[in-house]
Amino acid sequence: MNKILFVLLLLISTNFAAVHMENDILNNNIKILHELDLDSSYITNVKFQKFYKSFHKRYKRTYIKKLQKAELFLPIIKNILIKNNIPETFLYLAMAESNFELKARSPKKAMGIWQFIPSTAAIYDLKIDYYTDERMDVEKSSKAAIAYLTRLHKLFDKWYLAALAYNCGEARVIEGITRATLDMYCEDNNCKKDKTIRSYRKTIKDYQERKIKFYKLYKVYKKIKKWKYKPDINELLITQKNLRRQYLPQESRDYIKKIISLAMMANEIELNKEEHSHLLNTGISTSLTKVYVKGGILLKNIADVIGLSKKEMQSLNPHIIKNIIPPEEKKYGIYIPYSLLSKFNKNIKNIKANVFEMHIVKKGDNLGKIARIYGTRYKNIKKYNNLKTNNLRIGQNLIIPIDPDTYKRPKNYYVKSGDSLIRIARKFSVPLKRIMKVNKLKSSMIHIGDKLVITFK
């Protein structure tokens, strides 16, 4: 009897725990909607439920892997969200954008975790130059994304609208809201003879056909925004029959659903297993730390003194695209594992100095040409040689800062018995045409004892 009672109690407690967990998940899912300024009823939206079911099925196998891969720098993003009072759900906007890939690149030339295009990156002071692409700097790009989202929230006063605008642009969202508001108004009122409504619709059409500037559409938006009609997510995401241009693009309609789905997947039971709890509960204490080093130092040399490989150091700092800290910077921030901070501080003076080559100016040389030969920028040659102008003189000695991993000094090679140009090109892994051009050969005919100059770039 005691055994039967025990089994019954066990079943009751198990069912109670399951129901309790389901309630917790539901409450957390509703919290996600509230963070995005969405009504909790959206969780029952049939189209959203259908999307979530399909998305969950496709993405569940890779979901945890993506979180695990980003485990080192997720606390950096979370910390920035918290400090700026941004809903934590926006962590999943980054996931929707790039799957947390620091080096993610889109066909539209967007780059990094937050997928900034060059023009937007420039607005938010993310440097893109010969040495760096700060769209791949997790801290700087996250701060830029938060600044952008904050501005969009100020404009629309709703976080889900800010997210939509992040995807398709604020102008497209403004157009969609304007159209949806007019349609809602006309459902309650006869607009066929309303000259004002007709003029508003003409403005929208002219804007779509690029006959007028955005500010004219914005004027209409400012007027209708004061009306009592306020389209919510249900109105904005509907599919209108026989219309090529919907209120919002299909990509954006799926995008907001994707963000919500990714956030809700974090509340799923399989993610609450003990082995994955650290992914869900990652706080603001990070496994990475930022240190500052002098410009011109090779990333590899920093890696050497703290016991990392060059590949590992580059994976933490993909924004350093030339393996060398920008030479013009007095100090520049890079990321290392927090566990190696004391080792870095102890060995900072042991980091190898810059590597230089000496170049003697020849006829036809100019700073741009010399910079291309050595894989650097002409501005750095000017800086290291204290040049006030771009003028050079034949025989002048120039100091050139180089990265020995990408630049190799030209080599003299003397032709041996059995050699051919093709064999020599294969031996040094350089193009045959380059050997012929550098040595001013008009044919592939060579002789034993001939001196050839082999250049590696």
Q: Which residues are catalytic?
A: 97
Bridge partners (DSSP) of residue 402 are 355
HSE-CB of 228 using CA atoms within 13 angstroms:
3
Q: What is the dihedral of CA 255, 256, 262, 267, to 10 degrees?
A: -170
User: 54 exposed, middle or buried (CB, 10 Å; 0-12, 13-18, 19+)?
Assistant: exposed
Rounded CA-CA distance 265/57 in Å is 11
Contact 402/350 with Cβ under 8 angstroms?
Answer: no
Cβ neighbours of residue 70 under 8 Å, at least 6 residues apart? 100
Rounded CA-CA distance 236/181 in Å is 10
Contact 406/322 with Cβ under 8 angstroms?
Answer: yes
Contact 328/383 with Cβ under 8 angstroms?
Answer: yes
Rounded CA-CA distance 72/237 in Å is 36
Rounded CA-CA distance 53/58 in Å is 9
Q: What is the b/e burial string over 116-151, where b = at least 16 CB atoms within 10 angstroms of the residue's CB?
A: beeebbeebebbbebbbbbbbbbbbbbbbbbebbee
Rounded CA-CA distance 448/110 in Å is 53
Closest CA to 384 of 407, 363, 362, 353: 353
**What would the two tokens of residue 106 be?**
């889109």
Bridge partners (DSSP) of residue 116 are 111
